A = this chain, B = another copy of it.
């Protein structure tokens, strides 16, 4: 019986960890984006805000380095957060500026963290128990 007689395809791709990694990231990313969208936040926004929360006064460049984002890409990101009243910028010296969350920003990041933690919990629940504890360390080994 040929595969063309059924509607399922032979698919060798899920055997590749790299492919599976990309698919998993896409699928989960889309879902999280949708949830953060209800808070008017993108994923990068939430990441950046959590980092600012943990490191008040941090500079835009340092943030970019930590998130592995190009400095150039921080500009629209920070502008967006500032325009939304979520962060403040205060000049440190003539060329650097320190970032801090506003009160609204702190509230928003708390909501975002709640959304994210709920989501991560659901994510891990999908993973069979015997693999669960290995996921995070395995992933971190791939990029850290």
Contact = CB atoms under 8 A, between A and B. Distances in A.
Interface stretch (A76-84, A100-108, A130-138): A130-138
Interface string A35-62: 0000000010001001100110110001
A47 to B, nearest CB: 6
A136 to B, nearest CB: 5
Contacts of A47: 13, 19
A18 interface: yes
A34 interface: no
Q: How many copies does the complex hold?
A: 2
A11 B136 contact: no
Interface in A1-23: 3-4, 7, 9-23
B124 A17 contact: yes
A9 B134 contact: no
Contact of A50 (B13, B28, B119): B13
4 residue pairs, one from A and one from B, having the closest CB atoms: A25-B25, A134-B134, A27-B143, A131-B138
Q: Interface residue tally of chain A, by bracket?
A: 35 or more
Interface of A: 3-4, 7, 9-29, 32, 43, 47, 50-51, 54-55, 57-58, 62-63, 66, 68, 116, 119-120, 123-124, 126-128, 130-132, 134-144
A24 to B, nearest CB: 4
Contact of A137 (B23, B32, B131, B144): B131
